[in-house]
């Protein structure tokens, strides 16, 4: 109850699944003007709605910095690190610590091969996590990137660059 006044002032959304006798008192207590009722018991539908709500919240709440400044900060962080976790999914899920080089908007990995490559052949969607050494919960910092991987041929001009 001590946080009710704070909650009343913040934007909020509730996903309510089914009937519940607490809904009406909760709406009055938190001053909820709008709620989303879903009939689906399907967890995929619920997760999709939750992601859409998060994206909407981010658009409404998060202050956007100018794109050029954001690009500069991203490139600065990518250039100040050399290792990441590359996650692939094909036959199975694989998260591999790996060294990278950042150049001209691309991350390059030089490796001996392995399961991650089998996965990329089957599914070129990848996720990359780059993060600072842990120094406490209030100092966590990192970056997540999703994208598509492709192979650079050994004898190509791109490889030689």
- pLDDT tens digits, one per residue of 30-81: 666 555 555 556 778 778 888 888 888 788 777 888 999 999 999 999 999 9
Check: pTM over 0.95? Answer yes or no. no
- pLDDT tens digits, one per residue of 130-160: 999 998 888 889 999 999 999 888 888 887 7
Q: What do you get for the CA distance between the two ends of the chain, in Å?
A: 61
The answer to whether 82 touches 99, Cβ cutoff 8 Å, is yes
Please compute Rg for the chain using Cα positions: 22
Burial 2-12 (b: 16+ CB within 10 A, else e): eeeeeeeeeee
| Residue 120 structure tokens | 């990329």
Q: What is the mean pLDDT of residues 111-115?
A: 84
What are the structural domain ranges in the chain? 4-61, 67-160
Q: In this predicted structure, what is the pLDDT of residue 70? A: 92
**Fold of the CATH domain 67-160:** Pnp Oxidase; Chain A (2.30.110)
Q: At 14, give phi and psi (nearest 5°).
A: -125, 135
Strand partners, 36: 15
Q: In this predicted structure, what is the pLDDT of residue 156? A: 86
Residue of higher predicted confidence among 72 and 113: 72
């Amino acid at each position: 109850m001590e946080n009710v006044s704070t909650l009343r002032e913040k934007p909020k959304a509730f996903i309510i699944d089914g009937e519940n006798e607490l809904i009406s008192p909760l709406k009055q207590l938190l001053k909820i003007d709008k709620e989303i009722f879903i009939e689906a018991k399907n967890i995929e539908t619920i997760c999709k709605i939750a992601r859409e709500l998060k994206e909407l919240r981010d658009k409404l709440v998060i202050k956007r910095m100018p794109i050029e400044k954001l690009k500069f900060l991203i490139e600065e962080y990518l250039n100040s690190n050399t290792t990441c976790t590359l996650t692939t999914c094909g036959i199975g899920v694989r998260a591999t610590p790996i060294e990278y080089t950042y150049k001209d908007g691309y991350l390059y990995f030089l490796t001996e091969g392995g399961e991650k490559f089998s996965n990329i052949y089957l599914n070129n969607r990848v996720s990359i996590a780059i993060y600072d050494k842990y120094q406490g919960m209030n100092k966590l910092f990192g970056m997540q990137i999703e994208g598509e991987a492709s192979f650079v041929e050994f004898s190509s001009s791109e490889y030689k660059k």
